[in-house]
Structure formats: C-alpha cells, structure tokens
Chains A and B, each alone.
Chain A
Amino acid sequence: MKANTKISREKRKQKLKRYLGAWILLLPAVIVLYLMIWRPSFMGIVWSFFKMKGYTPTEFVGLDNYIQVITNSDFGRVMWNTVQYVFWSFLIGFLPPLLLAFMLNEIVHFRTTLRTAIYLPAILPGVSILLLWYFIYFPNETGMLNMLLAKFGVDPYVWLNDSRFTIIFIVIEMTWQGFAATMFLYYASIQGIDTTLYEAATLDGANPFQRFIHVALPQMSGLVVLNVVRQMIGVFQVLQQPMVMTGGGPNGASTSVGYQMYQYGFVQGRVGQALALGTIVFAILIVATCFYFYLNKKVEENQ
C-alpha cells in the first residue's frame, strides 16, 4: 500500500512538471474567469447573507434576504412563469431546428442560399429583433400579424396583451431568434453521419421521413439530448424578451425569474434580495448543469 502511494505521488509530480507549460498557458484564462465569473459568483453568494447598502455589505443577517424573496407573493408566480417559458420553449422550440437541419441536408438545390437565408435571424442584433417582433405583435391594425388577419377579414387580436398566451408568443419569438444556431449544430451532426447508411436505407425504399426517424435521429440522439438540456438552462435565465416586449406584463403574466432579479437589483435597489434570488437560481442551474455534464459524459462514452 505505502509503496503504491509513493509511486503514484512520484508519477503525479512528473505529470505536473510535464504539464507546467500548459498551466502557464491556461493562466490568462484562469485570471479572467476568476475576475469575471468565479469571484463575482462567490461574492454574490456571500453577500446574499448580508444586509446591503448599495453594493456595500453592512451587517450579517443570515437568511433574511432569502426569506423575503421566498415569502414575496410574486415568488411562486415568477417561478411558475419561468417553468412555463422552459416548457413552451421545449414544445415550440425543439422541433424546428431539428427538422430544418434534416431538410437542409435532404435538398439538393440552393443549399448554400437557403443556409444563409436561414441563418439571417441569428446575425441581427438582439434588441432590434425584439423591437421588430414588438411591431409584428402590435395589438391594433398597424401590427403586422393583424394586417395579415385583416386580409382574411379577421378583427385585430391583442397578442402580447392577452395574458393567457403572452409567454407562448414570447417563446415563438425566442425560437425564431435562436433556432439557427442550434440548427447548424444538428446540421453538422447530420453531415457527419456515414452516407452509406443513407444509401442503404434509400435502396431499401425508405422515404425521407423514415430516413430521418431511423437513420439520422438515432445517430444524433446524444447531441439532441444535450441541446435540450442546454436550452432549458438558457431559457431559465430569460430576461431580455419580457424586459423589452412586455415589461413583465400584463399583470406579471410574463415576469421571469431573471426579470424579477433585474427589478430587485436595478429598479428597486434591493441588492440583497437580488443576490439571494440570484443564488437560488444559481443553485437550480448548478443542478441542471451537473445533469448536463453527466449526460455529456454518457454521450461521449457511447460514441
């Protein structure tokens, strides 16, 4: 036993020496990560237990900030809204990039043109997209969708003002804004699939739909699962959309956890509560991220 540990210690020393150069190369990244991510996150967690005067902690108050955040009557509503964002973004946002990637792979002509056209939403600046959709959804006859409805003789609809569906309409916008990047991940993955598999399936008389279900999907299932988890983590933090398009309304119907945090921190000046809510979200997302890494490992093992 003892000899064993000694040997392994020696080995480790050698290893460290061998990788010293690598460590040095990593240093700038580590410093930046430390200053930009680790330290703020750590300080945020620590300060969430303090009474804050602006950004200066004044007094240790234990769980006070957390109690205030959780007992706030908006907390449950905001959490539920956020879950709805995640749920709808899964339901609405999951298929389009996958199907488009497959279609793009199947078509023969104009592939490059289409690829560029499909990617266009992803290169527009975020806030301009939101303002664009603000006018697409505008709830009188000057809104774009209502103009279309008018062509069919339908009265203008209030879109984002309809609190039952506000989140769904926002998620549709998010899908439009975000699907291109995901689609290209899938597209690259499909391109990596052995073409002989396709040829064999085609010879066996499989139509494109069957090829998608039986050939492409099993090959890229790992990536799909990872993307879904990644998307959940991303959507859980949604902030921009409700902030720009609805202000979290009507009557709080689209307020997400992220937007609530923004309200605490930058509108109401309740820094302690903002940090506490941030820490709660951080904890939830850490669990999700661990799950992601676990899946990622599984996926890599399978390949």
Chain B
Amino acid sequence: MKAKKVLAIVVILALAVAAVTGCTATQTGNDKNDQGQTVISVGNWPTKEGTALDLITKQKAEFEEANPDISIVPDTWAFDLQTFYSKAAAGQLPNVYYSNFTEIEKIISGDYGADITDGLKRAGYENVYNESILDLISRDGKIYTYPTDAYTLGLAYNADLFEQAGLMNDDGTPQQPKTWDDVIEFGKKIKETTGKAGFIIPTMNNNGGWIFSPIAWSYGVEFVKANDDGSYTATFDCQEMYDALKFISDLKWEHGIFVDNILIDPDEYYRQFSLGNVGMILGAPNMVDRLKKFEMPFENIGIMPIPEGPAKHVTLTGGYTATVSAGATEDQIDAAIKWLEKTGKGFRLDDVGKQAIEEEYQKKIATNTAVGIDTLKVYKDDTEVAEFRKEMLEKYANVDLNHVKLYNESLNDTSIELHPEVEICAQELYGTLDKLIQEVLTNQNADIPSLVSTANKEFQSNYLDNLN
C-alpha cells in the first residue's frame, strides 16, 4: 500500500505546485530591442497573401523608415473571446489589439487595456472625440482605448426588390419607411409583388437581442436602470416592450412578411439578404464584408436611416477600437498612437493620414468590397478628416450613391438619438432577448406580457443580482 500512497502524495504535490505557479505569468516589461528601438506588436495582421497584407507591409516599411526608433512586430491574433482570456493571462496579447466596441466593457473592467490618457495628450488629442464616443471609451475621465471606426444601424434594403415593388423614387433614391408600421406596409408590398420576405431580424447567437434593442428603445424601452447604490434593475417588463415584441410577432403571424426559418444566425441573416430573399434588414455599414461573402451585387445594396418608433427616433452605435495592452510603457503607448495614425485612424489630416485613408479605399476596391456607405465620425465635426473621408468615399464609390444617400445624410441628423449598448451584462441580455424573439416567432399564441415578465425577473435574478 505504501508505494501507492507515496505516489499519490507526489501527484498531489505536483498538482499543487503547478497550481500555484500556473497563474503567475505576467506581461514582460521589456519594450526595447537590442538596437534600442521601442518594440510594439500589432494584432490583426493579415495572414493571407494579397492586397491587405501588401498594404500593411508597405505601411510598416514606410513607418519604420520615418520612425527609426520604433520597430513593429506583426501579430496575426485577432480578438476572439475564446482565446482572449488565456492570451491575457499569459501576457501574450499584442501590444496593440483591435476589437468591437462590445468588448470595451470586458477590457476595461478586466484591466486588459493601458490608460492612454496621457499618451493621447502628448499626441495632441485635446477635445477631439465625439461626445457619444468619448463616453464609451473612458472611465472616470481616463481613456483606455483608441476608437478607429464607428457606425450606427440603418435600414438596409435590396434596391432590386424595392424597384420591383415600386418603392423607388424617380431620382434613384428609395422611399423611406418613416415608422415601423411603414416597414410593415413596405414589406407587404414586397411580398405581394416579388413573393420575397419583407423584413427580418436575426434571432440567434445573441445577434437577435443586439439588433432588436434599437427597435425596443424606439418604442420607449430602457432595459436596465443604474441605481444610486451601484446596483442595477431590469426595467423591460413594460407595455412598450410588449408592443415591440408584438411588432416582431406580427411580422410573421399577422402579416406573413418574415422568412420561414426563424433560427437565424448572422450568416443566415446576411445570406438571405444578399441572395435577394429579403427586402429589408437592420444593418451597419460594415455589413458590406458579410454581403461580399455571399456576392450581393453592388447595384442592389442600399441603406437608409432606421425608422422612427412610437416613442423616439433612436439608433444603436457601435464600432471598432484599438487597445494598447495593459503594462505597456509610455514609449510603447506613444509608438502605438503613431502607428494608428499611420494607418489612417488619427484626427489630424496631414499627408500621412491622407495617404492612409486613400489607400484604405483603394484596398477595398481591390478586394471587391462595396464602397459608398459613410460611417459615423469618431472625431468631432470640425476635424477635417471627416470631410476628406467623404471626398474619398465619393471618388471610390462602387455602389449607387443614390441608394445610400439617405443614410449618409442622416449621419449629420442630430434628431436621431445615438444609443450605445447597455452598459452591463449586454451578452446576457441579448441571450434573454434572443429567446423571447424565438418564442414569439415560433408560437403564434405566445402570451407576450407573461413571457416578458418572466424574462425580466430571471434576467434580474440570474445576472443583475449577481454582479460583483
């Protein structure tokens, strides 16, 4: 028996030692190489041969020539929650990594981003950010991430189906559904004339909840309320929410303008739209990458502002951001900001910025991506970048600019409220909403008030009451 006991003790000791040593990896503080250059690794580096890799390689060479004290190390890691935490725990995140706005909360609350407030000051970023963007990227007056692109959701439509349904104006712009009721009317016309679905939203992988939230806001719903004592209360058990869900339910059961398959993940969502099986969806300018995947003809791509709800005119804002990983030195932060400016993300319109912006559009053309939909400005209007971007957009546009005109103009429309995602438990909320959406779309007789009431209660007890 003794040998076995000894063996058991050895194994347990080994495990215990491993347990203690396993979690002590830290970011290496070494930011200089042998030549004394500041080294920064940059994530999202393209892996495939082609235009994107050629462009960034060229930019790297130019950048290192102009800044001999900086060395850029390519890192192909792109944000993915499945690998993010292990990378972070092992101190192996790239010094500069990109993510969606959605992840900012995780990044800041987990201390995975460096405080770049002073670095931005040194680089002259005083009072340059749009207010709505600034709220997202800062905590207690400190800025933790560098937004590179921003967008709002709009009502994307298939211009071909609109044409067939007689919904285009003579000047080549679409008729605009002003309200959700109009969307139903438009959808019915599309269904009658083409047999295709009128309007759909996704329902899976938390995308249902994400896309549904601006609809609910426009009915007057606010999902979560922050209390004075730091706790949160779920507040979507209300008539407005019932109405918003009834709108979704009616798309299918009352008006028959939804698709047959109600389990719709993002791929399926954009696939149906690209293939011309659906007249209208809610989408952001960056949907063009998805549409490219399913080869939607450029001449069919159109987008206009999101319709107004019974309570207000509101849309969801999102975007991309670059984060300097925690533990970076001042030199690294400065180098990172310089590099981001080199890639055309800065607020200054110097020759470097101009060239990068133009190259970005050239890249899109070369990779067969639709160009023409403008994006929300990261920086305030008085910066020249926006103007120059617009000029380049029109120069390189390959979609019909009349098809996207209403959306592009709406970016300056201050009557549309810009609403960021809920600040807490966003993914959990989206999961909850996904389920509600799926239920009202599969069950014609769903008791919406009682479903919402249960969901509200469960969201509160499962998640909001368990915040640490």
User: CA of A56 to CA of B22 in the docked complex: distance in angstroms?
Assistant: 10
Q: Restricting to B305-340, which residues have a CB under 8 Å from any CB of A?
A: none
**Partner pick for B263 among A9, A56, A156, A247, CB 8 A cutoff:** A247
In this complex, the member of A54, A252, A263 whose beta carbon has the largest number of chain B beta carbons within 10 angstroms is: A54
For A8, give the chain B residue with the smallest CB separation: B1
**B461 beta carbon closer than 8 Å to chain A:** yes
**Partner pick for B3 among A12, A251, A268, CB 8 A cutoff:** A12
**Partner pick for A68 among B22, B111, B466, CB 8 A cutoff:** B466
**A271 beta carbon closer than 8 Å to chain B:** yes
- In the complex, the answer to whether A42 meets B435 with C-beta atoms within 8 Å is no
| Dominant secondary structure at the B interface | helix
Instruction: Contacts A55-B88, A56-B89 given; indicate if A16 touches B3 (C-beta within 8 A).
Output: yes
- Which residues on B are within 8 Å of A, measured CB to CB? 2-3, 11, 14-15, 18-19, 22-23, 81-82, 84-86, 88-89, 106, 110-112, 203-206, 259-263, 265, 425, 427-428, 431, 434-436, 438-439, 441-442, 458, 461-462, 466, 468
CB neighbours of A271 from chain B (8 A): 85
**Partner pick for B262 among A12, A54, A57, A250, CB 8 A cutoff:** A250
CB neighbours of B468 from chain A (8 A): 51
Known contacts A56-B23, A247-B263; can you find 12 more A-B pairs with CB under 8 A? A43-B18, A54-B84, A57-B23, A68-B466, A139-B261, A140-B259, A140-B261, A158-B442, A160-B263, A247-B204, A251-B439, A268-B431
- In the complex, the answer to whether A42 meets B15 with C-beta atoms within 8 Å is yes
CB neighbours of A296 from chain B (8 A): none
Q: How large is the interface on A (under 10, 10 to 19, 20 to 34, 35 or more residues)?
A: 35 or more
Chain B nearest CB: distance from A29 CB in Å? 15
Instruction: Contacts A160-B263, A161-B442, A249-B204 given; indicate if A269 touches B435 (C-beta within 8 A).
Output: no
- The 13 sampled A-B contact pairs (Cβ below 8 Å) are A16-B3, A43-B19, A54-B110, A73-B461, A74-B458, A139-B261, A158-B260, A250-B438, A250-B439, A250-B441, A251-B442, A252-B435, A267-B427
- Which residues on A are within 8 Å of B, measured CB to CB? 9, 12, 16, 34, 38-39, 42-43, 46, 51, 53-57, 68, 71-74, 138-140, 156, 158, 160-163, 246-247, 249-252, 263, 266-269, 271
For B435, give the chain A residue with the smallest CB separation: A251
Closest 8 CB pairs of A and B: A140-B260, A247-B204, A54-B85, A55-B89, A251-B439, A250-B438, A73-B458, A55-B85
User: CA of A266 to CA of B206 in the docked complex: distance in angstroms?
Assistant: 13
- In the complex, the answer to whether A74 meets B462 with C-beta atoms within 8 Å is yes
CB neighbours of B15 from chain A (8 A): 38-39, 42
Chain B nearest CB: distance from A239 CB in Å? 13
CB neighbours of A55 from chain B (8 A): 23, 85-86, 88-89
User: CA of A34 to CA of B203 in the docked complex: distance in angstroms?
Assistant: 41
CB neighbours of A53 from chain B (8 A): 110-111
